Amino acid sequence: MDFKKEANKSNCACTYLACPRRGDCYACVEHHRGNAELPGCFFTSESEKTYDRSIKNFIQTIADKE
Ligand code: SF4
């Protein structure tokens, strides 16, 4: 499990490096789902850096891409 967490960390698109859930994708999804949000890896790199993980921001990001 720790090996997988380390592997996930190296592929993680989230720029909040101090997050204790970094690399633990189950905990990441659970945390953001509980706040009606999505994990950082769902967002474009530009939008991810705002740390606004709201579903509203996700939809706006997708709309802006089209
Ligand atoms: S997306 Fe959220 S929970 Fe996941 S690593 Fe980034 S800040 Fe942490």
**Cβ burial 50-63 (10 Å sphere, 16+ → b, else e):** eeebeeebbeebee
Q: Is 1 exposed, middle or buried (0-12, 13-18, 19+ CB in 10 A)?
A: exposed
54's tokens: 């709201």
Pocket of ligand 1 (CB under 6 A): 14, 16, 19, 21-22, 28, 31-32, 39-40
- 6, 22, 35: which to mutate for ligand 1, most atoms within 8 A of CB? 22
pLDDT value at 1 more than 80: no
For residue 22, the tally of other CB atoms under 10 A from its CB is: 17
Q: Return the domain boundaries, the chain.
A: 2-65
pLDDT tens sequence across 39-51: 999 999 999 999 9
pLDDT tens sequence across 2-31: 679 999 999 999 999 999 999 999 999 999
* Angle CA 5–27–40, to nearest 5: 85
